[in-house]
Amino acid sequence: VDGRVVVIGGGFGGATAAKYIKRANPNVAVTLVEPNATFYTCPFSNLYLGGIREFEEIGHGYDELRNVYGVEVVHTLAEDIDPVAHRVQLANGTTLEYDKLVMSPGIDMRWNAIEGYDEAAAELAPHAWKAGAQTQILKRQLEAMPNGGLFVMVAPPNPYRCPPGPYERASMVAHYFKENKPDSKILILDPKDAFSKQGLFTDGWNQLYPGMIEWVGLSNDGRVVRVDAARREVETEFGTRHQASVLNVIPAQKAGWIADRAGVTDASGWVPVQARTFESQQVPDIYVIGDATVAAPMPKSGFCANSQAKVAAAAIVSALDGRSAPNPYFTNTCYSLIGPEYGVSVAAIYNLNTEGNIQAVAGAGGLSPSTGDASLRRAEAMNAHRWYDAICQDAWG
């Protein structure tokens, strides 16, 4: 054995890291700790809400990691970390020792950042910002809603998981309404004054769902300060109340709680990392990837988590072999579906600048053109499906 690696979290970052460490050196013993036997992806969970993907189509298991790559997969929670002794305490009572630890725990909600929005409230007014049971609650509520009802979404403040995600969700809910409940309306209350791909979304909404979606930003009293989940009512900063038929509250976020236990978070609630390796700036031998990290200008996306996982895997395999880490670069594309045949995207390549910080490579990315015609939007929608299949294949097989 050339070293022992424990990976916490079997999502986009963790599953990819486990696989790529084994691909680079099969003699490294890799244990993946993930409570769920099936991982449901947030990517395409909006398509499930829109009625264009089945729930089971966004679920992925760990057979390939186990059977093809020889990763030991343990379905339990990591409960505590001793960074000095290099040990992980699991909820099933066992302790794992590591030479290198990878953490990709994703996000947790900041409960009560909006008054009245806590874990119990999320059962009534789901966030659906972790895919699985939450997504299904939201879907059932949309299905039970009468034609002519109002879907209210409370959008999150920066930084949060998937910058275009709320607006893709509004689009997919609009698609569902157009097909099934055409008199219904959508209100997005936003604590920001601008959002990702805003011009492209607004154009798409005007074309596909004229008059159905209203977006209210910060300057127009878009910030919600109180939620009454039982009544599905929200109150804004300046006292306006909105009553919803279905209420989707996406609160402020922070790194998954296990990152706190490891001592890798800072005052922001997120994890500062060394850009070259994604090793924690605060604790040696712990590599943190994905949404939990501070990696701006990279967004918190599944594609970024996957890209960072490969960089961390290469750095870990190199370090275990006494070599220095290769010079990294990263990729990201975020596709959003506005309609089933109407896709838009934003893409970027990143490398390190002379100070060693992550920067977007000039001229190497960009947005879908605002002047794109129907055939381009259709091609991007097809590419979104291909992207999903490819990245899930890459992470879970």
Nearer Cβ to ligand FAD (270/335): 335
Task: Establish if 175 lies at the interface with ligand FAD (CB under 6 A).
Answer: no
Closest approach, Cβ 200 to ligand FAD, in A, equals 14
Q: Which is nearer to ligand FAD, 228 or 396 (CB)?
A: 396
State yes or no: residue 83 binds ligand FAD (CB under 6 A). Answer: no
Q: Does 78 bind ligand FAD (CB under 6 A)?
A: yes
Residue nearest to ligand FAD (CB): 11
Q: Give me the least distance between CB of 51 and ligand FAD, in Å please.
A: 15
Q: Does 3 sit near ligand FAD (CB under 6 A)?
A: no
Please identify, using beta-carbon distances, which residue of 9 and 149 lies nearer to ligand FAD: 9
Count of residues interacting with ligand FAD (CB under 6 A): 38
Binding to ligand FAD by residue 36, rule CB under 6 A? yes
Please report where in the chains the tokens 């709680």 appear, as a residue. 257
Q: Which residue has the tokens 């670069």?
A: 329
Nearest distance in Å: CB 305, ligand FAD: 4
In the stretch 94-113, what mask flags binding to ligand FAD with x, by CB under 6 A? ----------xxx-------
Q: Which of 77, 113, 347, 379 binds ligand FAD (CB under 6 A)?
A: 77
Quick one: which segment of 136-144, 202-210, 287-295, 340-348 binds ligand FAD (CB under 6 A)? 287-295
256 binds ligand FAD (CB under 6 A): yes
Say whether 248 sits in a helix, a strand or coil: strand
- Give min distance, CB of 266 to ligand FAD, in A: 17
- Strand locations in 172-285 (E): 185-189, 213-216, 224-228, 233-236, 241-243, 246-249, 253-255, 271-272
Is 365 exposed, middle or buried (CB count within 10 Å of its CB: 0-12, 13-18, 19+)? middle
Q: What is the 3-state secondary structure (H, E, C) of 330-356?
A: EEEEEEEEEECCEEEEEEEEEEECCCC
Angle at 68 between CA 67 and CA 72, to 5 degrees: 50
Work out which of 3, 5, 6, 14 binds ligand FAD, going by CB under 6 A: 14
243: Cβ contacts below 8 Å, ≥ 6 apart = 150, 231, 232, 233
Binding range to ligand FAD, per CB under 6 A, among 7-15, 208-216, 233-241, 318-326: 7-15
Q: Say if residue 35 is preceded by a cis peptide, omega within 30 of 0.
A: no
Q: What are 186's strand-pairing partners?
A: 151, 213
Q: To which H or E segment does residue 358 belong?
A: strand 358-360
**Closer residue to ligand FAD in complex, CB, 330/335:** 335
Asked if residue 8 binds ligand FAD (CB under 6 A), the reply is yes
Q: Cβ distance 182 to 208 under 8 Å?
A: no
Cα separation, 41 vs 317, in Å, equals 27
Query: How far is residue 179 from each of residues 139, 210, 214, 288, measured CA to CA in Å?
Result: 15, 14, 19, 42
Q: Does 92 bind ligand FAD (CB under 6 A)?
A: no
Is residue 129 near ligand FAD by the rule CB under 6 A? yes
Among residues 126, 290, 339, 343, the one that binds ligand FAD under rule CB under 6 A: 290
> Considering the complex, what minimum distance in angstroms separates the CB of residue 323 from ligand FAD?
26
Q: Which residues of 250-280 are buried (b: 16+ CB within 10 A; e: fewer)?
A: bbbbbbbebbbbbebbeeebbbbbebbbbbb
What's the rounded Cα separation, in Å, for the pair 170 and 38? 26
Instruction: Please report, as residue ranges, which positions from 291 to 350 form the binding site for ligand FAD (by CB under 6 A).
Output: 291-292, 300-303, 305, 334-335
Name the one range near ligand FAD by CB under 6 A: 8-16, 183-191, 215-223, 230-238.
8-16
Candidates 57, 96, 42; CA nearest to 73 is 96
Contact partners, residue 329, CB within 8 Å, separation at least 6: 349, 350, 351, 361
Q: Rank residues 236 and 304 by Cβ distance to ligand FAD and give the closer one.
A: 304
The answer to whether residues 22 and 31 touch, using CB atoms and an 8 Å cutoff, is no
Contacts with ligand FAD by CB under 6 A lie at 8-14, 33-36, 39, 42-43, 45-46, 77-78, 104-106, 129, 161-162, 165, 169, 256, 258, 290-292, 300-303, 305, 334-335
